[in-house]
Amino acid sequence: MKRRAKKFLFVFTITTIFFILSTSVVMAESHYVESNVHQTDLHQILLEEYGAEFVYNYFNSILQLENILSSFYMTADGYILYPDTFGGVYINDNGILVMLFTTETQEDLSPYLYSNNIDSDTNNNIITRRVQHSYSDLWYIMNFLTNIERELATSNVHSWSLDVIGNRIIVALAEYSERHIDHFKNTIINSPLIEFTLSYGLACTDMPLSESNISYIMPPYTAPYYEEPPYITSYEQFTPSNVRIRTGDIIRIYSNSRRIGWGSAGYRVRRISDNRVGLITAFHLANGLNNGDEIRNGSNQRIGTARNSSIWGDDATFIELNNNVTVDTLAQFVPRLGSNVVGNRVTSRGAASGVRSGTILSAWRGHLTNGLFVEGFQASYRTAGGDSGGVVYSFTGNITFINGITVARVLNPNSDGIFTPADSINRNLRVNLH
């Protein structure tokens, strides 16, 4: 049955684009701090790495992308139903949005695009390209493998990913040969949509035993934020009138006054059931956060308590913050959920690596070295042990988008990050961005 889709409404003028980039309808709250510095830094990173023309195209693409995704039919539980002829979407190396379709006739495309947006000229707003397989068919394979992930955990399969540009599913095998490929096809699934590659190994969650070798590219808070020394060795509770934590800063986990692990702070949320403010981080810190574990910041000040977790797929935990804690969320206004499309430029902030930027490469599913299964995205920002739980975000003008949290790294030469998406985390932990 043909799935429904609304028409795309994204006719932008230059005046409209710059109006959107320079204004917002959401009022800022008093405890959002340092936002202009954060966004200026990220904007400068984009300019230095990609140039002004790319940044202009990229901002335009992000704005159009929001309208494209919102035009699809969405189920009551928040899942998108893609049109049958839709093959996916990504942002290319020039910052321009590319839409993929399994047909190229104007009549078939007209339900999805206005005719003045259909053009292969890279100087126009959108490029369209024909592919063989629909996005729905690709996701069918991804979801089929996800549903049997426990069986795959004991097999030769390390991970599988959706390569939207290549219009294929890539399965990474621990042992790669024609015999192993045939075994997969005969025992799991045989599909022309799947290609095989040799795995770099299970995505890594290994943590350094000590924090002593961390180089703080993004330093922890010092004066004037704290009047006390930046690191307190005493186990006694220290409760100033206002305790600060910045997303991406180091957090330490304590159980019965004994430090059992550390990682990075994610993004701020509000629990739907009682409006309690909290912070998201990775579940796997300290070999699995338990309800009641105490969380402290880089100055060893207590900031909150670990509560409920979403383990399968998300690797995420909700930290219930103390009332005297202020969180710097990187945003001048209330953040919005980011679009995790291939080609989107994202930035991670972590205790070990500091600020790192990269590009989303693929939707990724697989098992980690700690045994957890993750449904996330692979991105080209470099990460290291200790960054787990740190926020992954993007921005357009003065709008900050939260994309997710870092949970692992691929053992390829670039140490690509794996992050789990904020929309799934929020849905499963029943929280909203705040």
Q: Along the 434 residues of the chain, how does pLDDT read in single tens digits?
A: 333 333 333 333 323 333 333 332 222 222 222 333 355 556 677 777 778 888 888 888 888 887 777 777 777 766 778 888 889 999 999 999 998 988 765 455 555 554 334 444 433 578 888 999 999 999 999 999 999 999 998 889 999 999 999 999 999 999 999 999 999 999 999 999 999 999 999 999 866 545 554 444 333 333 222 222 233 333 334 444 478 888 889 999 999 989 988 999 999 999 999 999 999 999 999 888 999 999 999 888 999 999 999 999 999 999 999 988 888 766 656 788 888 999 999 999 999 888 888 999 999 999 999 889 999 999 999 988 899 999 999 887 777 889 999 999 999 888 899 999 999 999 999 999 98
**Domain assignment of residue 99, yes or no:** yes
Q: How far apart are CA 111 and CA 127, in angstroms?
A: 16
Strand, helix or coil at 184? Answer: helix
Domain co-membership, 92 together with 176: no
Residues 409 and 274 in one domain: yes
- CATH code assigned at 402: 2.40.10.120
Q: How many CA atoms lie within 13 A of 257 on its CB side?
A: 5
On whether both 209 and 329 belong to a single domain, the answer is yes
The closest of 158, 45, 175 to 408, measured between CA atoms, is 158
Any idea of the CA torsion for 278, 281, 282, 287, to the nearest 10 degrees? -80
Give the position of tokens 């670039």.
414
Whether residues 346 and 228 fall in one domain? yes
Range of the domain at 35: 14-130
pTM of structure:
0.81
1 C-beta neighbours (distance < 10 Å), count: 4
Q: Within this chain, do residues 256 and 403 fall inside the same structural domain, yes or no?
A: yes
